[in-house]
């Protein structure tokens, strides 16, 4: 566990078949115990806000401040919904919802790109095989197999959003239930079985 929590360059790998942390594959779908067994107890647990509609506003966040990341737990189960790494605060229309006390200093290996604090969002869009769905000026995302990769930029204008640095990258695990991949291994939309 100490090696997995080492602050020196955590490595997350995402492929159409697997998600791994420091070379250790996670089970599909991951649950809270899987994260705790891998990383130990979080530095902080942020409780969900008062109850809202199922799946909204009330999921606990498990903060790993020294790693610059947090994991979200689905409010009505032990299932992990997403893993997010934070490089910087976003000053765009959408902000980083939870701020670890340290920035993420590692890397995320995606097919065709290694994402670090120096990666530009245009590079990530290209690696995700455009079009990445853009909801608001500073947030966009696409699928790699069952994993939804979304990212926030640290800028606040439509023109700058295509060249700004990344604020955070999230890996959504909601659709990950068993190792499956669409033909070709990547998709900008969820595979038909997940729509």
pLDDT at 142: 83
Percent of the chain with pLDDT over 70: 67
Provide the pLDDT confidence category of residue 67 given band limits of 50, 70 and 90.
very high
pLDDT exceeds cutoff 90 at 151? no
Residue 159, pLDDT above cutoff 50? no
For residue range 95-119, list pLDDT tens digits in order: 777 889 999 999 999 998 999 988 8
The domain ranges of the chain are 11-194
Average pLDDT of span 118-134: 73
Summarize the confidence of residues 133-148 as an average pLDDT. Answer: 74
What are the start-end ranges of the H helices in the chain?
32-39, 121-127
pLDDT at 55: 52
Contact 42, 72 (CB under 8 A): no
pTM: 0.77
Specify the pLDDT at position 181. Answer: 39
Residue 179 has what pLDDT? Answer: 44
C-alpha neighbours within 13 Å on the C-beta side of residue 17:
2
Please identify which residue in the block is written with the tokens 């790998």.
13
Mean pLDDT of 148-168: 68
Cα angle 170, 174, 176 (rounded to 5 degrees) comes to 100
Q: Is the pLDDT of residue 131 over 60?
A: no
pLDDT at position 187: 38
pLDDT, tens digit (0-9, with 9 covering 90-100), for 12-66: 999 988 899 999 998 888 899 999 999 999 999 988 666 666 555 678 899 999 9
Beta strands 11-14 and 107-110 are parallel
Question: Is a pLDDT exceeding 80 seen at residue 133?
Answer: no
**Does residue 2 surpass a pLDDT of 70?**
no
pLDDT over 60 (residue 192): no
């Amino acid at each position: 566990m100490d090696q997995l929590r080492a602050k020196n360059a955590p490595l997350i790998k995402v492929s159409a078949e697997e998600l791994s942390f420091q070379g250790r594959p996670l089970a599909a779908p991951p649950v809270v115990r899987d994260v705790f067994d891998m990383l130990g107890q979080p530095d902080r647990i942020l409780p969900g806000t008062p109850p809202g509609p199922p799946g909204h506003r009330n999921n606990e966040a498990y903060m790993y401040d020294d790693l610059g990341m947090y994991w979200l737990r689905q409010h009505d189960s032990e299932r992990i919904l997403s893993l997010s790494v934070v490089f910087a605060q976003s000053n765009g229309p959408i902000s980083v919802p939870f701020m670890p006390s340290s920035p993420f200093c590692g890397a995320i290996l995606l097919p065709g790109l290694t994402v670090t604090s120096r990666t530009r969002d245009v590079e990530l869009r290209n690696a995700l095989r455009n079009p990445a769905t853009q909801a608001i000026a500073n947030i966009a995302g696409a699928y790699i197999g069952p994993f939804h990769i979304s990212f926030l930029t640290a800028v606040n204008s439509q023109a700058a959003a295509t060249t700004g640095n990344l604020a955070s990258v999230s890996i959504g695990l909601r659709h990950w239930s068993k190792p499956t991949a669409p033909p070709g291994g990547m998709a900008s939309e969820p595979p038909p079985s997940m729509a």
